[in-house]
Chains A and B, each alone.
Chain A
Amino acid sequence: MKNRSVISISGLVKDFGRFRALNGLNLEVKEKEIHGFLGPNGSGKSTTIRILLGLLNKTTGQASLFDSDPWKDSTQLHRRLAYVPGDVNLWPNLSGGEIIDLLGDLRGGLDEKLRTELLESFSLDPTKKFRTYSKGSRQKVALVAALASDVELYVLDEPTSGFDPLMEAVFQIHMRKLKQRGKTVLLSSHILAEVEALCDTVTIIRDGKTVETGKLSNIQKLQRTTFRIETKKSAKEVVKLGGVHGYKEEGQKSTFEVEPGHLEAVVKLLATLELTHIISNPPKLEKLFLQLYKDKPEAK
């Protein structure tokens, strides 16, 4: 892809005292993509984002944002992005509307049309004092404040963790609009369905290290496909083929998983077994996720 890099991180290390939160992390986000940033709790997503925004200073490694140093040039860089932190804790005595205007003006002005549209679609009442909002509404305030600014990059740290399904759908609509307008988004999230629906590329981290990164479709291609079939003859033979796992049989029904390189052989064999029914499931991100997290990291 010819798009230039907006975020480029390699070998990033961050220590908090003796505790190493990031341990050689890599992350590459290209222009105009929605990049999913995944990892279990405490794996270092928020820390990475904060280094990227110049809120924390890195210990060692490379981190650049729009080809500049995020710690040194943070203020100039901040003009080009909007950020929604993971913890939305704002001024209890200001109203939602006041907070949106305040953050918008500090960011250099907000788009009035967008502001109205966002308030409308998220059905957020801007006259409530911040402390009286529910959890979801608090996140809406932060999100509207960020999305109402017309910037190049949006950095969103778990922006939807308190949203109901309806609001989740609204969020996805706005993300797609951003994409149409050629914006770049870094989206940290635990909601895998959201990532699958929105992201072109993902980076998965664990214990401060990148364990998987690339196009979502490519990553999925690397994963096993699940088959559920009904055959007149026993399908037991597939086990003899390479790359087949987890074979289970129950009467005429059987299920198993196939590694990507062995699909052709399996399908050829199935054709000879008097197939009556077949469902093949593409690899789910959730499965990949669980697979990557459950394996203990190799012993050192």
Chain B
Amino acid sequence: MRSFMGTWRLVRLALRRDRITIPVTLGLTVAMVAGSAPALASAYPDYQARLEYVISSVPSIVGRFFQGTIQGVSLGSILIAETFLSAVVIVAVMSIFIVSRHTRYNEEIGAGELIGSMEVGRNAPLSAALIVAVVANLIVAVVIFLFLARVPALSRTGSIFFVSSLAMSGIFFSGLTAVTVQLSDYRRGANALAIGALVTFFMIRAVGDSLGKVSLGGLRVTASWVSWLSPLGWASQTLPYYANRLLPLVLLFIGFLLTTLMGFFILSKRDVGSSIFPSKPGPARAKSSLTSAGGLARRLQRNSFYGWLAGFVLTGLMVGVMVTDFRNLFEQNAVWKQLLGNSGATENFTASVLGVMFPRMAAMLAGYVVSALIKMYDEEGYGRIEFLITTALSKTKWFFSHVTTIVIGITMSLAAMGLAGGLGYLARASVKEVSLLNVVLSSLANVPAMMLFMAIILIVFAIRGRFVKTFAWSFYAYVVLIDSLVRIFKWPDWLSKLSPFSHTPAVPSSNVDIWPLIFMTIIAIVLFFLAADLFRRRDLNLS
């Protein structure tokens, strides 16, 4: 047990270092779930209103994909559809960050060595990190429960299962991260592995839920067995407020135990600072493709680009394959008719669906732009820019080396999403309403919105570099969530119009409104140059 010595000291240290992160995540999750509950209760006050919600949601494949399966007519079932999976993703990400930060990141910056030489055992940092993660999840669960318990239409038992399932998901991912931090030898790698697993699990569950069967007279969906392959599937299969199953919680807990044991096992076999996949030596000379501003920018952006590219391709494929399913829903569903009618292209069904789906997917995948811009800012934040712009490279050239790389990345990703979508569509559809080129164009129509999104963040970067991370993630959360928030809380419409993605027209269609595309492109380019100039004039952030 000596190897666990000092754990409590490290727990206290970690809690102190996380005194901002944990409350912020807590606030975010609580606000989302606990804030939605009363709002939903007043938006769907009676059986009739809830019934309408359920009837329109049950057949929606998109709904199943992002919100899971609907379980009967109740406020709880609506609450779950609107908040559960997003909350799970948030606590999962929080748990991943907590564990990697207090283990691998410490080793990376050398604090691990310091801690290792203090009176703490070898296993103490990982145990402390896990304890902090578990405690953080339990706090989230308790606080949310206290709020939910005050909504009369939600059963106590149901709420207990809701929050337990949420917390167990977070705890599961902290266990998973206990393994990934042993595998990669620095934090980004460990986070990327864990988040990759999260995305994969989300997708598996999404596919499983989408393949589910409608039952109970069209009021609930039974997920297919595929969902049971994913821990996120387990989390939603507790079916709070409907079946309140215990088995999935047990599965999550076993998963946590096994991954944690594995994490400690690998830890016992490796040196401090090393990993199972240690870094290999690099080349003694640089290739000529590296030794220019653009070459360096491409090299720095490369790995995360490939990761996101996979996300774009998967998303495209999913949209393409599912377009055909929409056709059937469309025939029966007035809500969808209305939604698609608004997009301005009713004569070609497939084109309309793509026109609705692609901008939403693009908004979600704008996370690529955020992470790429943060990579760019890190050059300044970590002081590496000091080496670069004291060579013959100017600040402006440096700035555009990244901007161009990212714009090309955006174009390639959206082209790939369109291509995958087109191929998926053609493979599945019996009647070909649109050509491959049409689908690709429909996806590429989001390039201007994505560029504008990027340009707005760059302005903040150019004015106050330090703020860029916070701003970029907040703006991203905004474009992803605003549509749903406007719908749930009945906020004014112009709030969604603030998102560039709401201005992408449906392409292809006979009456494409091309002007938004042109305007957005022009504004984005003007903002790029403005940002370059502001950046040139400001002091660098040097520690």
Contacts and interface: CB of A to CB of B under 8 A. Distances in A.
Contacts of A121: none
A55 B283 contact: no
A87 interface: yes
A95 B283 contact: yes
Interface string A82-99: 010101011111110111
Contacts of A126: 284-285
A95 B389 contact: no
B392 A107 contact: yes
Interface residues of A, number: 40
A147 interface: no
Contact of B286 (A50, A78, A79, A98): A98
Contact of B282 (A53, A78, A104, A128): A128
Contacts, number: 108
Given A90-B384, A91-B300, A97-B286, A127 B390 contact: no
A150 to B, nearest CB: 14
B539 A85 contact: no
A90 B296 CA distance: 12
B282 A129 contact: yes
Contact of A95 (B281, B392, B539, B542): B281
Given A55-B540, A56-B542, A105-B291, A94 B282 contact: yes
Given A74-B389, A75-B392, A106-B392, 6 more contacts: A95-B281, A97-B285, A102-B286, A102-B296, A127-B284, A145-B387
Interface in A154-170: none
Interface of B: 108, 186, 279, 281-286, 290-293, 296, 299-300, 382-384, 386-394, 537, 539-540, 542-543
B283 A97 contact: yes
Nearest to B394: A75
Nearest to A98: B286
Contacts of A93: 282
A83 B386 CA distance: 9
A97 B284 contact: yes
Q: Looking at chain B's contact residues, is the secondary structure mostly helix, strand, loop, or mixed?
A: loop
Contact of B390 (A56, A83, A105): A83
A127 B281 contact: yes
B320 to A, nearest CB: 35
Contacts of A99: 286
Given A55-B540, A87-B543, A98 B282 contact: yes
A211 interface: no
A57 interface: yes
Nearest to B108: A131
Contact of A105 (B292, B383, B537): B292
B466 to A, nearest CB: 13
Contacts of B282: 93-95, 97-98, 127-129
Nearest to B539: A56
A227 B391 CA distance: 50
